Structure 1
């Protein structure tokens, strides 16, 4: 059984219509103020920031997005005998699961935009229900259980990653025989360090990304082609006649 770890970043979802953050057309470049909407301290302190954040969530392209060929290729590899596939994703869009990856085999480092969490009592509920309340006229819906401030179940700027999720991700990186970093700049720590950890523990490291990354010199394979064609081709080669 070959353990294949996929570390995915925003670039894997751009073909699904979800813009990345730091690329030429990325959200932060187009609207630097948008970063405040996902910064914990600003969000908690300013009701106006929260109202704008709820509008951003309501209008998010995530709700129209469908998995693309790259997401589907990962899910297809997971179904093949001889491969254990684990996805470690920096994305919050849930498209790996929509494509068919079992939820338990996807580690969401930065949480998920498909749920909301109360900052007071920590109760989780569905984003769909919260957005229905926004549509009905609540500009800043509060927790129905305790009245606390609700936020998406994502890791905002200024928040720590879940230590258990990060610990699991590191264990997978260390144990992986093949590690593919796809659509990530490998600049945001600690997620980026997973590529280095995998390489140090003997994994074959492939980096599929349009731009150079700080970990390129550790890679066995650098692919600059479009992700929607490059990743399916790479993963198909793993399943080839040699059996991996």
Structure 2
């Protein structure tokens, strides 16, 4: 089956897609060797440099693997979707459930590990959230997420911090949409200030059980709205 010449447009992307289609359709099975760059370039109607970049893209996606002196071999027929892409595609409620698992434990660790710098940062973040409560939805969500990020940071676990940072963009988008659709803040006394103040104080006081329980209750209420 011939690959077919490409139309003018981003050639590397087109070449990568055409090669990807052949791999996923099984024309080149796992373990099989792809034709050489010269052959592929001729069939696609592009230069060898374009083929080389396309193959590099497919290697990054986990579909092929170059072997020094042997050529390029198929190692999978399905792309390995990276974690940020998987999060962007996921339902916000599903992401929120995982967030609860991660962040509740982070709050418990934060209560045990927070230092004076964390305490100051948490209290400042709480005040920024209060100040943002009368502003626009995006500003309020940013301040809310920042407070939660400060709690996670106080756990002093870089993996938890990075994991929360991966969640944050998806959470921000979903929560802003929730506020716009349901006007949650209009029906919530104090915009959740009491719960967030209790969370901060539990962390400051070093009460891990209370910190985890307070945060879990607060997040569960939002999850109900998301569903």
Question: TM range, normalised to the smaller chain?
Answer: under 0.3
**TM-score, normalised via structure 2 length:** 0.23
**TM-score, normalised via structure 1 length:** 0.22
Please identify which structure carries the higher helix content. Answer: 2
Greater Cα radius of gyration, structure 1 or 2: 2
Please identify which structure carries the higher strand content. Answer: 1
